[in-house]
Amino acid sequence: MVCSFGFKPDYVKILDEEECIRKDVIIGIYNGKLCKSNLYTSLIGLDILTKSKTFSKESTIRQ
């Protein structure tokens, strides 16, 4: 599977039982089928869903 192109958004908001905002993601666009049965329309790595790396929109890194 080869992505057509990818981009890095400022942040991605994942809505679940709690809101999770991630700033360390890259979104790849693929113009093909992920499976023959069309059961999947997107893939998300499990490490993106973990709460240990959540960030709030207001947090910044200061040096």
Residue 11 has pLDDT above 80, yes or no: yes
Q: Which pLDDT score is estimated for 8? A: 94
Q: What does pTM read for this prediction?
A: 0.59
Instruction: Provide the percentage of residues in the chain whose pLDDT is more than 70.
Output: 75
Instruction: Write the pLDDT tens digit of every residue in 27-57.
Output: 888 888 888 898 888 888 888 877 554 455 4
Domain range list for the chain: 5-53
Pairwise CA distance, residues 25 & 16, whole Å:
17
Helix, strand, coil tally for the chain in percent (to 5) = 10, 25, 65
Instruction: Provide the percentage of residues in the chain whose pLDDT is more than 90.
Output: 8
